[in-house]
Amino acid sequence: MHKFKIVAGANDQFRVQFLYNSEIMVWSENYASKSSAKNCIDSMKKNTPGAPIADLTKGEEGSGYRWEIVEAKNGEFFNRFVASNGETMVRSETYTTKANAVNCAESVSKNSPSADTEDET
């Protein structure tokens, strides 16, 4: 079961997580207000379906809402969902293969529109 969670962040701030069962797939930065965290969720539900995937490891570029595949310093791969203004909304853990980072992005895109939201704050 896929779902969003709003969780407490540092300094009375809020974070967004997207989970499959109990495993966190992607998470956000800290937001100063809960309404900003909710806006992140609403934007993901609206903009992840059909969002292109730009593989930065191949020199691909993107614009607008998009997923980016990035190589970490340790040689593994992660994805991040980027808003049309260029700000990163969420990112994933690192994966040993690029295919797994792509699969994560595709799963979030497919399952976020119908995901429920739990507020744990």
From 32, 38, 41, 34, select the one nearest 90 (Cα to Cα): 41
Average pLDDT over residues 35-50: 97
Task: Write the class of the CATH domain 2-119.
Answer: mainly beta
* Model pLDDT for residues 97-115, shown as the tens digit of each residue: 999 999 999 999 999 999 9
Q: Buried b / exposed e across 54-92, counting CB within 10 Å, b at 16+?
A: bbeeeeeeeeebbbbbbeeeeebbbbbbbeeeeeebbbb
* Model pLDDT for residues 7-38, shown as the tens digit of each residue: 999 999 999 999 999 999 999 999 999 999 99
* pLDDT confidence band for 51 (50 / 70 / 90): very high
Domain ranges of the chain: 2-119
What residues contact residue 9 under an 8 Å CB cut-off, 6+ apart? 15, 30, 31
Average pLDDT over residues 74-81: 98
Note the pTM of the prediction, 2 decimals: 0.94
